[in-house]
Structures are given as C-alpha cells and as structure tokens.
Amino acid sequence: MGVSEVREKYLRFFKTSPRNHKEISPTPLVLKNDPTTLFTSSGMQPLVPYLLGEPHPSGSKRLANSQPSIRLQDIEEVGDNRHTTFFEMLGNWSLGDYFKKEQLSWFYEFLTKELGLARDKLWVSVFEGNNQVPKDEESFKIWKKLGIPDKRIFFYDAKKNWWSMTGTPEEMQVGHIGGPDSEVFYDFGEWRKIHENSPFKDRGCHPNCDCGRFLEIGNSVFIQYKKVAENKLEELPQKNVDFGGGLERFVAATKDDPDIFFGDSFWPIIEVVQDISAVKFIEAQQSYRIVADHIKAATFLIVNGVLPSNKQQGYVLRRLIRRAVVKMKNIRVPEAYMISTDSDYEGSIYGDIVDAVFTIYCDLYFQNSNINDVIKIIEEEAIRFYSTLERGGKELGKVAPFDLYQTYGLPLETIEELYKERGLKFARKEIEKEIERHKELSRSTSKGMFKGGLVDHSPEVVRLHTATHLLLASLRKVLGDHVVQKGQNVTKDRARFDFPNPEKLTEEQLKKVEDMINDVVKKDLPVSFSIMSKDEAEKTGAIHAFNEKYSDTVKVYTIGPTSPKLRGALPFSNEFCGGPHVSHTGEIGHVRIKKQEKIGTGLIRIYAALEI
Ligand code: SER
C-alpha cells in the first residue's frame, strides 16, 4: 500500500460508525505566535486546551487527522531505515470520551483488518508503573483479550512508556499534561542482529532494542495527568486518548519491508537522484535517505512560509538544505546539476527533487503553492553553499578545521559532518574555544582600529597608510576574497597588516602582490573619498575591517578612477576608512614587502615599508 491509501483508510475507519470521529484540518507546520516551539511535532500539540477540558469548536469529543510534523530530535538518526525529520502522523483523540478498551481494540482492528497486517507480527508494550502511577494492568488485559499472547507484551518504564511533550514524569515541565502509553511494534523477522551498543543488549532482542527487527508503528497515550509541581502529578478532570502513528511506517509494515524509504513517499525522490548520480542508492543509502528527507522537509517548510536565515526556523531550513548538498556531493550528483537552476538548459537536481515531492503530496498539501518559488529558494541557498563547500572541501585534511571555518566559511556542523564521514576525530569544543579566542582578538584589534591604526598623520604614515590599502586590495586579487583586515598598525617606518589565510604566502605570491602594488603606484591613480550612508557604502562593494562596527554615515576611500566613463569597471581598491590618504598613488613611492609571519591559526601578518 502507499501513503494515500493508508491515510484514506485510517481516516475513513475512524470517521465511520461506531467510531464516529470528526476529521479536523492539520495545523500549519510553523505556528505563528508560539515562541515555545519551532515546529508542529505531533497532532496533539494544538489540542492541549481541549484535552484539558475546553469544548472543541467542532462540537465533537472524537477527533482524527493526518498531521504533517517535523521532529528535529531525530535529525542525527536520519540515514537509517526508519528515522526522518519530516513525517505524517495519523492521529485520533478522545477528549474525555472513550478510553483504553475502545482505543486499543479499534487500533488493533485497523491494523489487522484494514491494513491486513498478520496478527503474529504485532508486539506491544505497556507502562510498568512508578512511584506515582500504577502499572498499566488494564491495557495488559485488553491486549491479552484481543489475542496478543503474554510473550509479545512487554512492560517498560517511563523512558519508553510515558508520553508528554517534555518527557518522563520527572522531566516534564510543570503545567504540561501526559500519561502512560501503549505502543505497537511490527516484527520484521528474527534474523536481525542486536546492535552492540544497544542498552538492552543483555536482555536479548525485544520491541525496544533498536536492532531494526521491530518498528514502532503507533502509540496510544492515555493523557490523564498534569504536572502541578516538582514530583507531583495530578489527575485531570477527564481521561483522554491521544493516539499517534507514523504514516510512512504503516506503509512499511504493509509491505513487510523495514525500510520506509522504499515506500511511495520516498522512493520517487530517491529515483530522481539515482538517475543522475554516479553512486547508487545501494552503495550510499545513508546519504540518499538524508537527501530525500531533508529536501522534502525543506519543501514543506518553504510552503509554510519559512525562508533560509540565521535564526530559528530559517536556520533549520538552511541546515537541512546545506546538509543535503553535502550528501549530494558525496553521491556524486554531477556538478552541472548542482550549480544550474531549473530554468537552465541542464535543469537542476533541486528542481527534480521538489518536483517529485510535489507529485507525492500535491493533491493534499500543495494546491495553493507555487512550485517554482520553492525551487528557486532551495536553489539559491544550495548553489551559494555549493561553492563554499567546493572551496573548503578541497582543503579538508590539509588545513586545520578552524581554517575551514574561518577562511573558507564552512559552517561548523558541515565540517563536523565531513570529518565524521571520513572517520576523523573532530574536537568541536576546542574549535569553538578557538573561535571565541579569535573573536576576542579581533574585538581588541578593532578597538585599536578606531584610531585607524595610525601612530600619527605625518606624511610618511599617510603614504604607508595608502600603501596598506593597496596591499589589502592586491592580497585579495592574488589570494581571494577571504582576505580581510584583521589588524593594522602604521608607523613612520613600516606598515603592519594582519589578515586570515591558512598558510604564509609563497615567494611567488608575495612577489605578485608586491608587483601589483608598485604597478598601481606607477600608474599614479587618483585617491578619492565620498561620504555616504553605511547601506549605500555596502552596496558599492566596499570592503571593511572584519568585525568592525561603523556608524551610520561612513567614508569610503577609492583608489583608481571612479568616472562613469569606466562603464562599471571596479576601481582598484574601495574601502571603508577614516583616512587620511595621499591624493595620487604616485606620491607613495616604491613599496617593499619586508617580512611575513604566521601569528595564529589561519592568521598571517605582513610588514611593508617604503623604499627611499
Ligand atoms: N502524542 C503522541 C506522540 O507524539 C501520540 O500522538 O507520539
């Protein structure tokens, strides 16, 4: 069976007599005005007031729906055969109406009659009790009566058989509601090995052992408690049922195949990627699953109004897209597909995937969404990140991880991912410390820079100051745009200039830089400045000192003609600066690079002087 068929069967089953549930619309994935959660992660989330006793606007005490959900706590697990960030949760709720007997019998009937799952493949778990809540003998008896033998019913503690939005009774936030639960697992067969890291290894294989033999497919939570104080649960005035089951997992069970990615809500995505990649699914399943899950989740987020950014939901979206790009590169999606846009002749991999996602869900979730907008947003983020990854990836193993971050701009989580893939150790804590140290350093350097780093405004200092602008512009042209000013100090005798670069320059590079500076000196180019708003200045592409803070109105010094006759050609140098400077580069005289030093990880210092 496929997702549409299972979803439809489920909703029909719960809507018809004697169950008589009212189908409610799913909640948007991103809840506006809810600062407590980033995403809707279960169907019960928006129903809390009704589970507490408020009448539901539909007028019914029996509700059901299919809820698109995102759970980030499983993000590290994505890549195995069953974990995803995005999934659809089939849910049914009793708001103080029916309870354990009806819930467990109906769910069992749905699984065995509607989905046709074999009875002997179903195992269940119930709550073993704790100091505040008794053992759930009632559910145990119901399951037995339904025909599940003792040996397939397991009791577990609150870590496994208690549900609230914030965890076990001890972990639960005061004010939150929850209760014991009973889970149903599908058994894919005994041949699977128990994972050697399983905390249950010495108990042998059983539903919660995580070896892959069992897949949890549904969870009936009996929401009957509210946490009112530390160590204090109080019974709610009404006894509720909150059932949630993973749609994609139901599909896997109907196929008797433990890999949910073979279901029709994933396989078409994997196929479009496999069609053009050099590495096939069978050789790199983890990467394929991550790509399929992450771009699907990204599509849903964008359709729900999220845009890539550095904050909250936008940051999650950005991470999902970037991680998918890393994985696509691993499975060798040809570069042409990764850097072209959907409107290009070659087409883009992002367009192909989003197209597949839309085909799977269009009828239900995307009728009002424009596929081209979604593709464009993903492409823009992915293509930009791809070039960063290309540059940084080449240096992996050659330069320190800190340099990958600082110089090549790879996000820490990407570096961690790349290290993990290659089985290398990644000392995240140490790198974070180093980043902090560098921030401190540039903060204190910046303080010095407010004075411009000049000891005085003598003619020698002014000439060397202009020479330093030429030095920075030349370094950027020879080494790349990662070169920025991290520190500057100019005296009568020499200019000292610090900038990020993984290693010292080669002799050849140094010579190139020096020649370039002197070439501009020879050309006697004009040096001018204009005063403009910071925003305007930024638009001109003027560079500024790293981490420096500027007021709203700034001065931008330009070396080289700025005349409109240039037809958009860029001046040699364009920099935020307070001055002063010479008026023509010929006044500087011959510049000589005297010395270079590596003064920290990825930080180079150059000394330059004037040759009289
Ligand atoms: N709230 C429970 C869960 O998310 C069941 O719906 O698992």
β-bridge pairing 153-156 and 122-127:
parallel
Instruction: Please check whether residues 384 and 399 belong to one and the same domain.
Output: no
Nearest CA to ligand 1 atom 3: 244
Highest-pLDDT range among 189-198, 282-291, 447-456: 282-291
pLDDT of 3 = 96
pLDDT tens digits, 90-127 = 999 999 999 999 999 999 999 999 999 999 999 999 99
Q: Is the CB of 44 under 6 A from ligand 1?
A: yes
Burial class (CB in 10 A: 0-12, 13-18, 19+), 269: buried
Q: Ligand 1 pocket check: which of 107, 125, 219 to mutate, most ligand atoms within 8 Å of Cβ?
A: 219
* Domain limits for position 291: 266-388
Q: Widest CA span of the chain, in angstroms?
A: 101
Instruction: Please check whether residues 434 and 576 belong to one and the same domain.
Output: no
pLDDT of 540 = 80
pLDDT tens digits, 9-39 = 999 999 999 999 999 999 999 977 676 788 9
Rounded CA gap, 393 and 134, in Å? Answer: 55
- Per the CB < 8 A criterion, the answer to whether 29 and 39 are in contact is yes
Q: How many CA atoms lie within 13 A of 607 on its CB side?
A: 11
Q: How many CA atoms lie within 13 A of 340 on its CB side?
A: 14
- Is 572 among the domain residues? yes
Q: Does the CA dihedral 472-473-477-483 come out positive or negative?
A: positive
Q: Is the CB of 163 under 6 A from ligand 1?
A: yes
- Per the CB < 8 A criterion, the answer to whether 88 and 68 are in contact is yes
Instruction: Please check whether residues 304 and 370 belong to one and the same domain.
Output: yes
Nearest CA to ligand 1 atom 2: 244
> Where in 431-521 does DSSP place strands (E)?
487-490, 495-500
- Per the CB < 8 A criterion, the answer to whether 281 and 274 are in contact is yes
Task: For residue 122, list its beta bridge partners.
Answer: 186
In this structure, of 222-236, 520-534, 590-604, the range with the lowest mean pLDDT score is 520-534
Q: Is the CB of 236 under 6 A from ligand 1?
A: no
Task: For residue 607, count other CB atoms closer than 10 A to its CB.
Answer: 16
Nearest to 47 by CA among 28, 63, 70, 71: 63
What residues have CB less than 8 Å from 579, skipping those under 6 apart?
A: 452, 465, 529, 555, 557
Task: Name the domain count of the chain.
Answer: 4
- Is 37 among the domain residues? yes
Of 337, 367, 388, the one marking the end of a domain is 388
Nearest CA to ligand 1 atom 6: 244
Tell me the residue type at 39.
F
CA of 178 to the centre of ligand 1 (A): 10
Nearest to 582 by CA among 457, 496, 482: 457
CA of 219 to the centre of ligand 1 (A): 6
Q: Is the CB of 485 under 6 A from ligand 1?
A: no
Rounded CA gap, 176 and 313, in Å? Answer: 24
Which pTM does this prediction carry? 0.70
CA of 193 to the centre of ligand 1 (A): 28
Mean pLDDT within 368-382: 93
Instruction: Please check whether residues 473 and 595 belong to one and the same domain.
Output: yes
Rounded CA gap, 409 and 256, in Å? Answer: 45
Rounded CA gap, 246 and 186, in Å? Answer: 12
Instruction: Please check whether residues 435 and 544 belong to one and the same domain.
Output: no
Instruction: Please check whether residues 401 and 547 belong to one and the same domain.
Output: no
Of 393 and 176, the one with more pLDDT: 176
Task: For residue 130, count other CB atoms closer than 10 A to its CB.
Answer: 16
Q: Is the CB of 91 under 6 A from ligand 1?
A: yes
Instruction: Please check whether residues 194 and 227 belong to one and the same domain.
Output: yes
Q: Is the CB of 500 under 6 A from ligand 1?
A: no
397 phi/psi in degrees, rounded to 5: 85, -20
- Is 91 among the domain residues? yes
Q: Is the CB of 246 under 6 A from ligand 1?
A: no
CA of 42 to the centre of ligand 1 (A): 6
Nearest to 181 by CA among 141, 121, 128: 128
- Is 342 among the domain residues? yes
- Is 454 among the domain residues? no
Of 354, 369, 388, the one marking the end of a domain is 388
pLDDT tens digits, 236-278 = 999 999 999 999 999 999 999 989 999 999 999 999 999 999 9
Is pLDDT of 159 > 70? yes
> Residue 530 maps to which CATH number?
3.30.980.10
Rounded CA gap, 292 and 272, in Å? Answer: 10
Instruction: Please check whether residues 564 and 586 belong to one and the same domain.
Output: yes
Is pLDDT of 183 > 90? yes
Is pLDDT of 279 > 80? yes
Q: How many CA atoms lie within 13 A of 549 on its CB side?
A: 3
CA of 312 to the centre of ligand 1 (A): 23
Q: Is the CB of 445 under 6 A from ligand 1?
A: no
Of 258, 280, 304, the one marking the end of a domain is 258
Instruction: Please check whether residues 359 and 438 belong to one and the same domain.
Output: no
pLDDT of 450 = 39
Confidence band for 544, pLDDT divided at 50, 70 and 90: confident
- Per the CB < 8 A criterion, the answer to whether 64 and 22 are in contact is yes
Q: Is the CB of 140 under 6 A from ligand 1?
A: no
Instruction: Please check whether residues 250 and 283 belong to one and the same domain.
Output: no
pLDDT tens digits, 547-597 = 566 666 778 889 987 654 445 567 899 998 878 899 889 999 999 999 999
Query: What ranges in 396-495 are assigned the alpha helix state H?
Result: 401-406, 412-421, 428-449, 459-479
What residues have CB less than 8 Å from 485, skipping those under 6 apart?
A: 449, 472, 497, 498, 499, 543, 544, 545, 546
Q: What percent of the chain has pLDDT over 90?
A: 62
CA of 600 to the centre of ligand 1 (A): 51
Q: Compute the mean pLDDT over every residue in the chain, rounded to the nearest whole number.
A: 89
Rounded CA gap, 99 and 116, in Å? Answer: 24
The H-or-E segment that residue 559 falls in is: strand 553-559
Q: Based on DSSP, count helices (H) and strands (E) in the chain, helices before strands.
A: 18, 16
What are 156's two structure tokens?
A: 């577990």
Q: Ligand 1 pocket check: which of 89, 182, 184 to mutate, most ligand atoms within 8 Å of Cβ?
A: 89
- Is 195 among the domain residues? yes
- Is 582 among the domain residues? yes
Instruction: Please check whether residues 524 and 570 belong to one and the same domain.
Output: yes
pLDDT of 446 = 43
Rounded CA gap, 153 and 481, in Å? Answer: 63
Mean pLDDT within 166-183: 94
pLDDT of 341 = 84
Instruction: Please check whether residues 203 and 279 belong to one and the same domain.
Output: no
